[in-house]
Amino acid sequence: MPEHTAQFTSHGRTELAKAIVGQREVIDQLLAVFLCGGHALLEGVPGTAKTLTVKALARVCRLEFQRVQCTPDLMPADILGTNVYNVSTGAFSLHRGPVFTDFLLVDEVNRMPPRSQAALLESMEERQVTIDGARHPLSSFYTVFATQNPIEFEGTYPLPEAELDRFWFKIRIHYPGAEQEEEILNRYQNGFDARDLDAMGLASVDPELLVAARREVAGVRVGPDLMHYASTIVRRTRDWPSLSLGASPRATVFLMLAAKALAAMDGREYLIPDDIKSAALPVLRHRLAVKPEADIEGVTPDRVVEEVLAAVEVPK
């Protein structure tokens, strides 16, 4: 049994519940992304605690946290940093940008122009950045959590496919239910302050536990039939009639690795079909492009993923 993963998962759920009311599925998906060593795109309307969730997770993991507030005039150097000339020494020194951290929150990423969005590509893929021809490695825990408001809001830019494909999960954060919203009010009435993480009493984990949990996730066994199942799901998206763009081979890899994380979080050292099914929606939804005529008819990427899962035979 993956004991370290179970310990990290249980601790993460308990501590994040001090900051976030409900949203159990969102919390589990964030924990899975971190265990995979991937990145996550969180989508939801303003005021649904996207930023608070990531800040709380960074505190629980005891990792360095930096935030970039995206605006239309944000430049790549504002994220990566730049070499600054020092008059007293007569030499250039690197002024590091917020990308040099463990957890990078890119807030409202779809308000950032394409040139600045592209500045994240190398860091997300290779965990390094290149500044003036020199390569600089990033933390082994480096994780990008980008938030965005729904694309129909004014003043936003669509994310390019190359950037979307580097996010392991696209996590949708919905409005809380009636009871959850009343619990939020009750917490604020009793002194809760979303800006004061110290007052929440979030207990951190030992970084060694994070390393051990990631090692356990990597060791989850995957049978050939389940590899075929994951591959078939992704391949079916490439010729699905209502799609103009299917998922990439990178998506196949991410689907299997994300399913391994969910299996370990569930206390298993082996994969089952339900792990792949659970990972399919957040892994694939942002990698699919619906044809215009299908979009007019109300077809969504989520609906297509569900149709594909229903069409692909589940291994026994």
Q: What is the pLDDT, as a whole number, of residue 159?
A: 78
Q: What are the tens digits of pLDDT across the range 208-237?
A: 899 999 999 999 999 999 999 999 999 999
Please give the structure tokens belonging to residue 89: 């020494």
- Whether the CB-CB separation of 33 and 40 falls below 8 Å is answered with yes
Residue 239 CB neighbour total at 10 angstroms: 8
Question: Whole-number mean pLDDT of the chain?
Answer: 88
Q: What is the pLDDT, as a whole number, of residue 155?
A: 62
Q: What is the pLDDT, as a whole number, of residue 123?
A: 87
Q: What are the tens digits of pLDDT across the range 132-143?
A: 888 889 998 999
Q: What are the tens digits of pLDDT across the range 109-157?
A: 888 887 888 888 888 888 888 888 888 899 989 999 998 877 655 666 7
Pairing outcome for strands 143-148 and 103-107: parallel
**244 pLDDT more than 60:** yes
Q: What are the tens digits of pLDDT across the range 280-307?
A: 999 999 999 888 888 888 889 999 999 9
The b/e string for 18-28 (b: 16+ C-beta within 10 A; e otherwise) is bbbbbbeebbb
**161 pLDDT more than 70:** yes
Q: What is the pLDDT, as a whole number, of residue 153?
A: 59
**89 pLDDT more than 80:** no
> Could you tell me if residue 39 is left (phi over 0), alpha (psi between -120 and 50 degrees) or otherwise beta?
beta
Q: What is the pLDDT, as a whole number, of residue 240?
A: 92
Torsion angle defined by CA atoms of residues 286, 163, 125 and 76, in that order, rounded to the nearest 10 degrees: -150
In the chain, count of helices (H) and strands (E)? 15, 11
Tell me if residue 228 falls in helix, strand or coil.
Answer: helix
- Whether the CB-CB separation of 143 and 102 falls below 8 Å is answered with yes
Task: Mark out the alpha helices in 71-137 (DSSP H runs).
Answer: 76-80, 114-118, 121-126
- Whether the CB-CB separation of 181 and 141 falls below 8 Å is answered with no
Q: What is the pLDDT, as a whole number, of residue 96?
A: 84
Spatial neighbors of 34 by CB under 8 A, at least 6 apart, are: 57, 61, 143, 210
The sign of the CA dihedral 125, 131, 132, 134 is negative
Residue found by looking up tokens 């996207």 in the block: 50
Domains of the chain: 3-189 (3.40.50.300), 219-311 (1.10.8.80)
Pairing outcome for strands 289-290 and 243-245: antiparallel
What's the pTM value of the predicted model, to 2 decimals?
Answer: 0.87
Rg (CA), the chain: 20
